[in-house]
Amino acid sequence: MKHFLVLFSMHQTSMGMCRLLAAVARTLVMANVLATTTLIAIFIFGGIVISKDDLKQWLQWGYWTSPFAYAQNAISLNEFLDERWATEFHYENANTIGEAILKIRGFLTESHWYWICVSVLFGFALVFNILSIFALEFLNSPHKREVHTNATDTMMECATKKNGSHDASIPQGVLPFQPLSFAFDAINYSVDMPKEMMKYGVTEKKLHLLQDVSGAFRPGVLTALMGITGAGKTTLLDVLAGRKTGGYIEGTIKVAGYPKKQETFSRISGYCEQSDIHSPNLTVYESLQFSARLRLPSEVTSHQRDMFIHEVMHLVELTRLKNAMVGLPGATGLSAEQRKRLTMAVELVASPSIIFMDEPTTGLDARSAAIVMRAVRKTVDTGRTIVCTIHQPSIEIFESFDELLLMKRGGRIIYSGSLGPHSCNMIDYFEAIPCVPRIKEGQNPAAWMLNVSSNTTEYEIGLDYAEIYRRSSLYKENMILVDELGKPTPGIEDLHFPPIYWQNFRAQCMACLWKQRCAYWKNPEHNVARFLNTFVQSTMFGVVFWQTGSTIKQQQDIFNILGLIYGTSLFLGFNNCTMLQPVVAVERVVLYREKAAGTYSTLAYAIAQVAIELPYMLVQVFMFAAIIYPMIGFQMTVGKFFEFILYMVLSYMYYTLFGMMTVALTPNVEIASGLVYLIFLFWNVFSGFVVGRLLIPVWWRWAYWANPSAWTVYALMFSQLGDRTELILVPGLPYQTVREFLESYLGLEDVYMNLVTYLHVAIIALFTIVFFISLKYLNFQRR
């Protein structure tokens, strides 16, 4: 019961501390940095890595301010003052084995300290929770305001509206494209019947989401794809664009009269997703440069590419935001409508002939939606084929479309044709149907249309709009158009492109590496924090363990060095791992979009992601080694210093790759963090510090040899102390040399050093391969 009370009080203290750190840090990256640094400080001064008696006198305050010290003392007192440890044994002022163990390790030895320690832990929990309340109350959001256009931009927008949007469109310009038609006939899409529906008696094996959908999109025509919620608008868009990752698709799709080939179609099409996914640490211009660099033909010169990018920025009105940071949605950087226009621009710099847009105005106010639709309209006027799904548009936005494809729930078409001036063609069609309520004067045609085509209205008037459409002359005209556009135009050949990607593999790697370099350089939260963290932690370890390695006289001195190496090799690498996870998670979502667009191969991305970390890791290791090595007092020889750096580099590498790999293996950063902590606990227990290799039960020895952290502790300990021959005092045993103690008690022998080195290299290669395979074959963004 007393043991449980200690664990409970420490748990409350930990929760309060983490809550406080999160409230103070206010971002995920900074919270990870602050939490790990605080954990290391608490752990160092907790009395287990280095004994309290070996702390310098002026550092004793750290011991008494560490919650871990109180928990460790309470647990130890509860255990070693028990009758099981009451065998008589005299060591200094101790009279039992239990008291001797407490004395040797520098713990408290009087029983009343147990209740004092537990009370202090509950006091820590109370203080941490009170401070977190004040932090939440008085600390503001760390994010900067969104980027907005200035007054001059607003005046230009008003002038553009007044003069008309059609005058603002630009010609095909530097990189001409081929206007292409797009026809589809009898499209059916279904998925396996959800088990939840089968529980309620549904006997069908498949759920049909699209049924016999046919239509055509033409160059220079802006088509709206609409319908009530659940009608299948986005599903149809994904099927036509080839973005579906599952399900069963039937029907024919033709581009310029030829059957659609997805590997070719991705070269001449663009897809603007609703979520506006971009790398947050790039500028607008850099985002467009990266897309154009990989999605334009290799024969396009850099000068032509830059001219085309400027044309596109002018087209979608992003020129004034050229050097603005993209930022995170709703937090930093671009506003919502600016991100929408950037999404369009990223696709336009690929010079596509056909563009699909998924609800480009969703979440925008009337002014922002008008700006986005003006950019869409100007893009259509260049001769491109554009189709947009749209939900409840205003009158102005709805009437900016040329044609409408309207769907009902169940994935069936109920109208496909031109809107006409002021939507007159669409209104006349529905008003001609008996019992359909007429539109009121001044009513939004889009709202009226969605209302009269709803399931409720359809049920009330007792009609099936899909059947009415199939019997109408409009349906026959559309099928004639589908047949016409489904035949190749004389003199126009089928599209042919180089296999898979525009750029070769080397160019893909260089472009991805350039992007990562730009993104890392503009991410001070990540990189400045990691260097500052390395400096602080190395200084902290150096001060606490000052000259510990210069003089070894007793067993506890070796344990202190073991604690130092254990702390530096595990916690600094783990800190890098947790800091990197949110960064990799954000970029992985961007990878899904860019991979679907055929921008680059997954291997090129993985190589760039790993390569960009190397220089930062090397700087960290050299900074760490330059500070801590002389402060600890290890022997200053070239060989030993090189070995110290070598194994620290290998340690940083596998921890960094471990963080990347867990993100690639899991659907989100929260699960990845949980997996890292779970495995880290396993590594921690079997690292050779908590329990020495020879003291681990035989049936658990495999866990030691399967533990990368154990390899690093082994290599660093033996490389620094393996040749030391000083005699040391071991309580209850005769004097031994340092090397003999390493071999007999810790199980560190020269015979395994080469194996340990090879294992480091092998685990780095394994984590890299798993990272690549996971990125390539695991897609958690299901469509």
The C-alpha R_g of the chain, in whole angstroms, comes to: 33
pLDDT of residue 513: 96
H helix or E strand, kind and range, residue 360: none
Give the pLDDT confidence of 489-519 residue by residue, as tens digits. Answer: 777 777 776 667 888 999 999 999 999 999 9
- The position carrying tokens 């699909």 is 356
- The position carrying tokens 């069609």 is 429
Give the pLDDT confidence of 120-134 residue by residue, as tens digits. Answer: 999 999 999 999 999
CA distance linking residue 417 with residue 338, whole number of Å: 31
**pLDDT tops 70 at residue 170:** no
| Cβ–Cβ < 8 Å for 253, 184 | yes
pLDDT of residue 51: 81
Mean pLDDT is lowest, of 85-89, 354-358, 498-502, for 498-502
pLDDT of residue 708: 95
Which residues pair with residue 271 across a beta bridge?
A: 356
pLDDT of residue 175: 67
User: Three-state secondary structure along 18-42?
Assistant: HHHHHHHHCCHHHHHHHHHHHHHHH
pLDDT of residue 783: 62
Q: Give the mean model confidence (pLDDT) for residues 60-69.
A: 91
pLDDT of residue 249: 92
CA distance linking residue 511 with residue 515, whole number of Å: 6
pLDDT of residue 203: 76
In one-letter notation, the amino acid at residue 415 is Y
In one-letter notation, the amino acid at residue 465 is Y
Mean pLDDT is lowest, of 1-5, 157-161, 415-419, for 157-161
Task: Give the number of other CB atoms < 10 A from CB of residue 303.
Answer: 9
Q: Which long-range contacts (CB under 8 A, 24 or more apart) does 359-362 make?
A: 359/234, 359/274, 359/388, 359/389, 359/390, 359/391, 360/272, 360/274, 360/388, 360/390, 361/390, 361/393, 361/397, 362/274, 362/391
Domain boundaries of the chain, sorted by first residue = 1-138, 182-268+354-486, 503-522+530-782
pLDDT of residue 275: 84
In the predicted model, what is the mean pLDDT of the chain? 87
**pLDDT tops 90 at residue 39:** no
Name the phi and psi angles at 413, rounded to 5.
-85, 135
**pLDDT tops 60 at residue 430:** yes
CA distance linking residue 518 with residue 510, whole number of Å: 12
pLDDT of residue 755: 94
pLDDT of residue 150: 45
495: tokens are 């599209």
Q: Which CATH architecture has domain 182-268+354-486?
A: 3-Layer(aba) Sandwich (3.40)
**pLDDT tops 50 at residue 753:** yes
pLDDT of residue 152: 40
Give the pLDDT confidence of 617-639 residue by residue, as tens digits. Answer: 999 999 999 999 999 989 889 99
**pLDDT tops 70 at residue 35:** yes
Name the pLDDT band for 202 (thresholds 50, 70, 90).
Answer: confident
Share of the chain above pLDDT 90, in %: 49
| Cβ–Cβ < 8 Å for 5, 75 | no
**pLDDT tops 60 at residue 163:** no
Q: 222-227 and 385-389: which strand pairing? A: parallel
Q: What per-residue string of b and e applies to 18-51 under the rule 16 or more CB within 10 Å gives b?
A: bbbbbbebbbbbbbbbbbbbebbbbbbbbbbbbb
**Choice between 296 and 262, residue whose per-residue pLDDT is larger:** 296
Q: Taking each helix axis from N to C terminus, what angle separates 284-295 and 505-521, rounded to the nearest 10 degrees?
A: 170
pLDDT of residue 554: 86
**pLDDT tops 50 at residue 487:** yes
403 HSE (CA, 13 A, CB side): 20
Name the pLDDT band for 667 (thresholds 50, 70, 90).
Answer: very high
Share of the chain above pLDDT 70, in %: 95
262: tokens are 């997805």
pLDDT of residue 477: 93
Which residues pair with residue 405 across a beta bridge?
A: 225, 416
Instruction: Enumerate helices (H) and strands (E) in the chain, giving the number of each.
Output: 31, 14
CA distance linking residue 645 with residue 624, whole number of Å: 9
First to last CA, the chain: 52
**pLDDT tops 50 at residue 548:** yes
Name the pLDDT band for 579 (thresholds 50, 70, 90).
Answer: confident
Q: Give the mean model confidence (pLDDT) for residues 457-476.
A: 90
pLDDT of residue 143: 61
Contacts of 243 (CB under 8 A, 6+ apart): 237, 271, 596, 783
